[in-house]
């Protein structure tokens, strides 16, 4: 492992995901000083952390060890890097796994920038015997509501359409890890990571 190349790649992946060093550190249970050290090429992640890093970045351990992305991998759409587009006119939802030119109702759509949900914004996630039960006290008025909730992993996505004046309540299969992403008509695109026995 070339620690300089691996550090540069970690920084690149982190930046592409819009994560701070602290946010990345929290996801893999290390200090932000450790992430900073890696990115400066002054050390390497412990081998036991490579799997968690690969999960966060939507890549594999070998890419981190090599310190570079081969051409084929960089061109393949990755579900963890899914882009969401929502038309303000009709509410149409469009997704893409790489750069795309999307138009709807005569307007060009820009990909939504996901924001990590604050504690009071997070969805409630419960294990109900082999399924996840997702609910929220979020307002669901005609002017202010969640229009969709999606589950993302590195290889799949499930989307659940939501409607104004309906309560947010849905069930989905129990997954080991992944990310919940949802769109609020006033707050924008939010996300939270889900892990076993964690909200």
Domains of the chain: 3-75 (1.10.260.40), 113-194 (2.60.40.730)
Interval 2-31: pLDDT, tens? 888 899 999 998 988 889 999 999 999 999
pLDDT at 78 over 80: no
pLDDT at 59 exceeding the cut of 70 = yes
Residues 101, 108 contacting (CB under 8 angstroms): yes
Mean pLDDT (whole number) for 103-122: 93
pLDDT digits over 145-181, tens only?
Answer: 999 999 988 778 899 999 999 999 999 988 767 889 9
User: Which residue reads 């550190």 in tokens?
Assistant: 25
In this structure, the strands spanning 93-96 and 83-86 are antiparallel
* Cα gap 5→109, rounded to integer Å: 35
CA–CA gap between residue 6 and residue 17 (Å, rounded)? 17
Q: To the nearest whole number, what is the mean pLDDT of the chain?
A: 86
Whether pTM exceeds 0.75:
no
């Amino acid at each position: 492992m070339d620690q300089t190349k691996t550090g540069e790649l970690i920084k690149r992946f982190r930046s592409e995901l819009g994560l701070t060093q602290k946010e990345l550190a929290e996801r893999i249970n290390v200090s932000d000083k450790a992430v900073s050290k890696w990115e400066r090429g002054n050390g390497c992640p412990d081998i036991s952390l490579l799997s968690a890093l690969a999960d966060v970045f939507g890549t594999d351990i070998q890419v981190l060890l090599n310190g570079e992305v081969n051409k084929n991998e960089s061109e393949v759409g990755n579900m963890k890097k899914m882009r969401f587009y929502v038309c303000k006119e009709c509410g149409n939802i469009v997704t893409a796994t790489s750069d795309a030119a999307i138009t709807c109702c005569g307007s060009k759509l820009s990909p939504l920038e996901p924001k990590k949900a604050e504690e009071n914004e997070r969805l409630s996630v419960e294990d109900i015997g082999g399924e996840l039960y997702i609910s929220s006290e979020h307002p669901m008025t005609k002017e202010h509501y969640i229009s969709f909730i999606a589950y993302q992993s590195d290889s799949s996505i499930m989307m659940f359409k939501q409607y104004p004046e309906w309560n947010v309540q849905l069930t989905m299969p129990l997954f080991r890890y992944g990310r919940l992403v949802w769109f609020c008509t006033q707050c924008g695109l939010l996300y939270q990571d889900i892990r076993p026995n964690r909200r």
